[in-house]
Every structure is written in C-alpha cells, then in structure tokens.
Structure 1
Amino acid sequence: MGHQEYSSEFKNQVVQFIIGRCVGGVPPRGTLKEAQLKFTISRQTCTRWWNAVKKQQQRGTSVQLVQPLECGSGFRLFKNNRKDGLIIPHTSANKLLRLRFTVESLEFDRILNKIRFMNMHNTIHIDEKWFYMTKGTQRFYLAPGEQEPHRTCKNKKFISKIMFMCAVCRPLFGVHGEVLFDGKIGIFPFTKQVAAKRSSKNRQAGTMEKKPIESITTNVVRECLINKILPAIIAKWPDGATKVLKIQQDNARPHIKDNDSAFREVAQQSGFSISIVQQPPNSPDTNVNDLGWFRAIQSLQTQTACNNVDDLVNAVEKSFHELQPETLDNVFLSLQGCYMEIMKVHGQNRYKLPHMGKAHLRRTNQLPLNLEVPVELVMEAVAYLRDQGSNHGLESISQALGL
C-alpha cells in the first residue's frame, strides 16, 4: 500500500485539535489516541506530527505544518533563514498591501518561486441583504393553454422585504473530500414580534405577528452580533480548529467597531478570541456574500412562492441550508482570484471577475486548494505602494518574501 499524502490544512487541523486539549502545554493521556481515531490516521503519523510541533514550540516559532514539495514520507518545516521556502506569519501578512482590500484575509505560503494563498479558515464574512417577497417582473415558462400565474400586491413599487444578516466562513474538507465543517454559520432575519392592532379573517386582535425591522440601527446590529452570530460561531465551530477568529464586515454606518465593550465581552468567552475587521470601502468583491453567495441563495429563494413574512423567512433559511459546502468553497476561490485582479490594476476596479471553471476542475479532482500568485505580481504591487508613499510594514514583508 502506498504512502498516504495529507494536505497542510489537514495536518494543521489535527495538531490544533491536540493543542486544544493540552493542559499546561502537555496533552493529557489518551489525547493522541483520540486524535488518530477522530481523523483516521495512524499512530506513527499522529506522533510524528506532534513531535514536529513540539520542536517548533521549543524554538518559539509559529506552529505550522506544510505539505512537502515532492511526494515523500513526511512534511517540511520552513524556517525564516531557509531560502527554499517560507511561511509568512499572519501578523506580518496583515501589513502587505494597502490597496482596495484588507490583508487580514490575505495569507501567503511561499515555496520556491511560487506564492500561494493560504486557507482563510479563520475569517468569517458577514453582510446584510434585502430579500423581497416577490419580483416586480418575473418570467414564467408556460405550457400551451396554461394560464399565467395570478399575483397580487398592494403596491408594486413597495414590495414587502426583509433584511437578513449572513455569516459564513470557508468550509473544511477531509483528506478524502468528506465535509468536516460546512462553513455556514447562519443567516438571521431582522424581524420583530408585534401584536395585531385589529382583528381580521386571518387572526384576532392582539395576536403576535412577525414583522420586518425596517430601520436597521447600531443597536439592532449589535444585538444580532452578540445574541445570534457569536453564539452560532461558538456552537458550530469545529473541534481542534483555531479559536482566534476575525469577523469581516463592510463600512456601513450602523456597524459596530471592534472596541465595542459589549461585543468584546462576549467575543472572548469559551476560549475564543474574536475581533472585527473592516472591509475596504466600495469593494464588494472582497466579501464572499456579495461575490456570489447571496446570489446563490436568492436563486433558490425566488423559486418559492411567499405570501407573508413567515414564508419569506422560511424560504431564505431553507435556501441557505440547501446550498452545498462546495458552492461556498468555490466563492472563496473566486475571492482569491479577485484579490489577484485587484493587485494587477493597482487597487482600481477596472477588472472583470475571474473565471476558472471550478465545477469542471472539482469533478476531475484538479481544483487547487488555494490559488498561486506570481512573485512578479507581488513585487509590482509592493513597488507601486512604495511609489505612493505607503511604506508602513512593506520593508519587513519584502524581507520575509525575499523580494
């Protein structure tokens, strides 16, 4: 039987699971056995990976296991003084580029003359979107003699709608392609319960009804983050994965800042350290929700006829949960492609969304985990930023990259 090769993401998921069980830096008895059973790996492989991690901890370097360049019996640990490879710490990569995108989600893994994005598993993308009860104009394909569907609405210019807050992160897949974590934190409607003022054929006066919240204020957003999104993250986050997370949001006025005291109190519970980072202004292509995830949800939601608020909420939530994790993972690859296109045009928006035929590549097992970035492109972006006077943090990154 040939030697089994494992991805960097899988190796680091295993060691993070062990680290999460450690007490005083030492895993309790039976932890390695638990890890090998949970991830279906051999005892020798699990021990070898953990020994490598202990050596990294002793040197004081960041814990990171990296896939070897060629097939072999293990993995390569990259050091800062090695010329043949480099892992850029996340804290340094944050300062690489100040173009139209935030670099919190940009992590690079350099091997020889290639630079590639790392997995982006520690960033949760949140965004809001209005979902409508129906469309003003909708196309139907009818059989000969079939009557056109009857639709009514009080005013076609003011169709009922609800705003939803969606939170997603990149899915996790096992070594054989099995879904370990679907990345879908949740989609939450901005609604409220209101007592009916008058009786009707549908309900009596005083009956509690679900109504949309039409004015989305800072307090409403804070309540959604603290009472819905953060508990969902803590409840759904996979065992062994890093608990140092970032929530990326856009610059809408009602959004809270990372220094919000109420948010910080909840975001530091259960061993988690969750912070908020801002999406660059006027840059929808740097958020996976805007980039294609909302479109995928809406394409399913519009197939359901909705007559009231409850119908619309159920249709959106059902569409959200029916989408496959592979669809979400594809959008994250598109996000990496957009980052590259933004670098090519020096932070402008005069580019076309990249297409790479992800569905075909996934069917043929040729889809890369992360896209490769030409070294020349990074060098050009760094040089451009220097010319613009944006030198903060560039020197250390250039040295780390060997540019």
Structure 2
Amino acid sequence: MVIKTQNGQVLKKDNEVIASLLDTTVRTVKRIWERALKQVEKGEKVDVSNQKPGRVGRKRKDLDLSRVVTIPLNRRRTLQGLSKALGVSCTTLHSRFEWGHLRRHSNKLRPHLNLSNIVKRLKWCLAMCEDYWSATRELDNIAYMDEKWFNMTGEVNNYYLLPEEPDPLRTLHHKDSIAKVMFLAAVAKPRYGKGGEVTFDGKLGIWAFVTESPAQRTSENRDKGTLKLKSLKVTRDVMRYYMCEKLIPAIQERWPDEDEGRTIYIQQDNATPHILPDDPVFRQVIEQTDLDIKLLQQPPNSPDMNILDLCIFRSLQSHTDSRAPQSIRELIEGVEKEYRNYPVDKLARSFVTLQSCIREVMRNKGAINYSIPHMNKERRQAEGRLPIALSIDCELVGQTIAFIEEAEAILAAEKEQKQQEKSSKKRAASGLKKQKHPSNTSSLQAAGKENQEP
C-alpha cells in the first residue's frame, strides 16, 4: 500500500488503516514510525522489532515438586489437599499442573491376587499361546460369556448445557431404588471373508434374567392382573437353564459351519451360580447336539481375561444410558438393541486388546496393574493390517515358566509348613486332653498301689 506523509508524519487516515491491518492501536503505529525516522536520521539500519527481553513479567516461584512422592496418596486426592501438604498456594500448584509438571490419575480398585492366583493367571496365559509359544492363539474357538447388572440410570451423570440453561433436576426416593436388570451375554471372535465381508459377527446373544408375572393388586402404576417384568435371582439352576435353553441353541444356530468337528470352549468366571464343567444336565444337552462344547474356567480374580469385562460391557452401559429408559421393559429393549448395533469391527479389535493383555500379564509376572498398550488398531484395521495373533518372545516364555516353578515351590513349602503346624497343634491338644481326663485303668492302678502301702 502507499503511505502518504505530511512534514514527515503519516496522515491520520493512513495510521488508522495500518493499525487495523496490524490489529494494533494508532499510538503503537505512531511510536514505531517515529523510531524508524530517528534511525534514518542517524544513518542507522532501520530496526523496529520488539525491544523487550525474551522473558518478561514475574519470575516463576521456585517449587520443589520432588517432595510430592513423600506425601501419602490420601492427601493428594485434590489440588487443595496437595497444596496444603506442600505449603504453597493452590493457584501456584494449578499452574504447575497446566505446565505438565503434575498429572491427574484415575485409580480403580483391582481384585486382590495371592500367589496362587498369579500362578493360575500365568498358566492360563501360556495355555492361550500356540503349542511352541511363539504367538498368542487366534482365540476363534472360544465363546466368552458373563453376567452384568445394567442400571436404569446412573447416580451421577454429566451433561453439556448452555450457560443460560438451567440445571436439570433428577429426583429419586433413594439411590437403592434405581431399577436394574442382570443380563447374560456371550460373544465370539468375528470372522471375515476374502473380500473383507463379515461372515460371522461373533454376537451369540444377550438375555435378561427376568420373569413375567401378573400384578397381585391394583396400584397407581398398573391395574391388577397386568403383566409386569421382575428380576430373577440368579442361582445355579437358573444359570443351567439359560445355558442349556438359550446359549447352547444360539451357538448351534450361529457358529460357522467351517468349524465342524472342532472343539468349542465356553469361557466363564468362577462365580458361584456358574455350573461346573462336568455338570450332568449340561453334558446331556451337549450330547444331543452335533457339537463338541466344553466349559473353560478363567483364572480367579481376573476380569481382564474376559473380553466382555475388558471392553464390551462398559460400552453397552454407556450407550444404554443415552437412551434414558423409563421402565424395565425399555431398559431390556435398549440393552438388546445396543448389543445388536455393536460394531463388528470394534469387537474384532477388542480381541487384539485381549491378546495384548495376555502378553502384558506375562511381562508383569501375573500382576494386574499393567497398562494396556496402544497399538493403533483402528488405523491398522482400516489398512487391512489388523493382526490375527500377537508374537510372544521366547525369552519371555522362559522367564514365565521359571517364575511359575519358583512360585509353585514356595506354595508347596507353605502347604507343608501349614500341615506340620496343624499336626503339632492336634498332638498338643490331644496331650492336654489326656492330662485333664486320665483313663480309668490308670486311676485304678494308682489306687491299688496306695492300698498296698503300709
């Protein structure tokens, strides 16, 4: 642009145009222009760059954050509590958090694992590897089943509102009055054809533990005799009925025909209502089918070894909450619909997550406090490179076997020590009993000797 001057000064109109272009004030434009004129008069090179030093403003307060690790975790749950323990202001600590010097961590309670549980977890992980332990199994002949309570609504929900929008009000007599239903769900690994089309979606079914019965009396909600849904108490007999009448027929109907003659495993946890692998009724139902189905018990206290607990149930609960069901029937319909709409590709990626968990458990010697690795599964799947199985390092397998042998030796020694202590306590109790209650024969002999004395 052309700048017009008058007596060495820029016209007011041009100053305003330049200020608007540079998004600054007219005063700043005048100051820079005057500085440039002075440099020209002195014969210096024109330099109108910022003259301020690199760092301006108040200096950062020295804060030794290495003391944070010495503070108990229960005093580090909030910035206010941590700032009080460190003796600094909460504002200063919040600034350090924004700069990345502190991080927020959500901690979840995990199942307690004793040494016996750890050994069983590691043995199960080895069983989920190929015969020569070079990679994880494809896990395509396992049907994963589990139960979960689905709630009508959450006690605490998060919403996004406009600034002027009023806060919603949700009322309830008591939080224990939130209606809920238990479901039995079963999934298997999806399968694809050569062209990438889905040949088996892996969704075997989801069934609610409910019964329909007529209302016994008239109320404000329904008339007498109206059919209503009521939750069932899940016992072993109820579980046996659901497995024999719902799960087995679903497997027989939906399982791929290409697996004819192959053993199909149904993996379940160690809950009390679950039937045993040698249950006679269950075995009788299996014999009436043309399938070879066996029950597989997952390691105790190991929800991360079940695909439903690991990935699927949380997603189903979240999507069901978005439907805002108002009755038990709507809740059941919502859960069933979300189960049917669950993306098949997402289910396939979940099995890769399970395989990575198997490998991480071996790396952490059976512990449950590992981090699930990020593997860019979604991008790999879009590129057609989603792995079927994950490789296992031979050195890792050797370390796992050595750890199992060492742990089993410790368990055997502890068992033998407990048996010895039990035997010694039993002998001591028996001796004490004899001292308090001597036998009749010994008493008669002692009395006879006293009578023979002069």
* TM-score, structure 1 normalization: 0.68
1:106 matched to 2:128? The reply is yes
Deviations 1:128-183 (A, max 9, x none): 11100001111111235444445343322331111111101111111222111000
Paired amino acid for 2:337: K
Paired amino acid for 1:300: H
1:123 matched to 2:142? The reply is yes
| Alignment partner, residue 42 of structure 1 | none
| Alignment partner, residue 224 of structure 1 | 242
Q: CA offset at residue 228 of structure 1?
A: 0.9
1:192 matched to 2:214? The reply is no
Q: Do the aligned partners of residues 101 and 222 (structure 1) sit closer, same or farther apart at CA in structure 2, a change above 3 Å counting?
A: farther
The aligned runs of 1:23-38 (5 Å cut-off) are none
SS of equivalent residue, structure 1 residue 231: helix
Query: More deviation in 323-332 or 308-317?
Result: 323-332
Contact 1:171/1:328 (8 A) holds in 2: yes
| Alignment partner, residue 275 of structure 2 | 256
| Alignment partner, residue 373 of structure 2 | 354
Selected match of 1:206 from 192, 217, 225: 225
Q: CA offset at residue 109 of structure 1?
A: 6.5
SS of equivalent residue, structure 1 residue 354: coil
Paired amino acid for 2:317: Q
Contact 2:125/2:358 (8 A) holds in 1: no
Measure the CA separation in 1 of the matches of 2:214 and 2:330. Answer: 19
| Alignment partner, residue 319 of structure 2 | 300
| Alignment partner, residue 181 of structure 1 | 200
Q: Do the aligned partners of residues 105 and 274 (structure 1) sit closer, same or farther apart at CA in structure 2, a change above 3 Å counting?
A: farther
Measure the CA separation in 1 of the matches of 2:245 and 2:393. Answer: 43
Q: CA offset at residue 104 of structure 1?
A: 8.7
Deviations 1:306-326 (A, max 9, x none): 111100001111111111111
Contact 1:195/1:206 (8 A) holds in 2: yes
Measure the CA separation in 1 of the matches of 2:331 and 2:176. Answer: 18
Measure the CA separation in 2 of the matches of 1:152 and 1:206. Answer: 29
Measure the CA separation in 1 of the matches of 2:231 and 2:167. Answer: 30
The aligned runs of 1:32-51 (5 Å cut-off) are none
Aligned-residue Cα RMSD (Å) equals 2.1
Counting aligned pairs with the same residue, the percent is: 37
Paired amino acid for 2:256: P
| Alignment partner, residue 387 of structure 1 | 406
The aligned runs of 1:164-179 (5 Å cut-off) are 164-179=183-198
SS of equivalent residue, structure 2 residue 135: strand
Q: CA offset at residue 381 of structure 1?
A: 1.2
SS of equivalent residue, structure 2 residue 398: helix
Paired amino acid for 2:278: N
Higher relative contact order (CA 8 A, sep 6+): 1
Measure the CA separation in 2 of the matches of 1:154 and 1:177. Answer: 52
1:366 matched to 2:385? The reply is yes
Deviations 1:82-133 (A, max 9, x none): xxxxxxxxxxxxxxx84346359614176xxx92223111111111111000
| Alignment partner, residue 236 of structure 1 | 254
Gapped regions of structure 2 (runs ≥ 5): 1-118, 410-454
1:160 matched to 2:179? The reply is yes
Q: CA offset at residue 295 of structure 1?
A: 1.3
1:340 matched to 2:340? The reply is no
Query: Where has structure 1 moved over 4 Å in runs of 4 or more?
Result: 147-150
SS of equivalent residue, structure 1 residue 129: strand
Deviations 1:172-218 (A, max 9, x none): 111222111000101111101121122245532012211112x2211
Q: Do the aligned partners of residues 132 and 141 (structure 1) sit closer, same or farther apart at CA in structure 2, a change above 3 Å counting?
A: same
Contact 2:125/2:362 (8 A) holds in 1: no
Max radius of gyration: which structure? Answer: 2
Q: Do the aligned partners of residues 369 and 196 (structure 1) sit closer, same or farther apart at CA in structure 2, a change above 3 Å counting?
A: same
Q: CA offset at residue 383 of structure 1?
A: 2.2
Q: Do the aligned partners of residues 201 and 338 (structure 1) sit closer, same or farther apart at CA in structure 2, a change above 3 Å counting?
A: same
Paired amino acid for 2:198: V
Gapped regions of structure 1 (runs ≥ 5): 1-96, 391-403
Paired amino acid for 2:387: P
Contact 2:355/2:390 (8 A) holds in 1: yes
Q: Report which of the two has the higher share of strand.
A: 1
Contact 1:107/1:120 (8 A) holds in 2: no
Selected match of 2:307 from 288, 296, 318: 288
Q: Do the aligned partners of residues 129 and 101 (structure 1) sit closer, same or farther apart at CA in structure 2, a change above 3 Å counting?
A: farther
Paired amino acid for 1:234: Q
Measure the CA separation in 2 of the matches of 1:351 and 1:183. Answer: 28
Measure the CA separation in 2 of the matches of 1:389 and 1:142. Answer: 57
Paired amino acid for 1:108: E
Deviations 1:368-400 (A, max 9, x none): 12111111111211222233347xxxxxxxxxx
| Alignment partner, residue 330 of structure 1 | 349
Query: More deviation in 157-166 or 126-135?
Result: 157-166
SS of equivalent residue, structure 1 residue 388: helix
1:310 matched to 2:323? The reply is no
Measure the CA separation in 2 of the matches of 1:157 and 1:203. Answer: 22
Paired amino acid for 1:197: Q
Query: More deviation in 348-357 or 242-251?
Result: 348-357
SS of equivalent residue, structure 2 residue 314: helix
Paired amino acid for 1:127: D
Contact 1:251/1:279 (8 A) holds in 2: yes
How many pairs align? 290
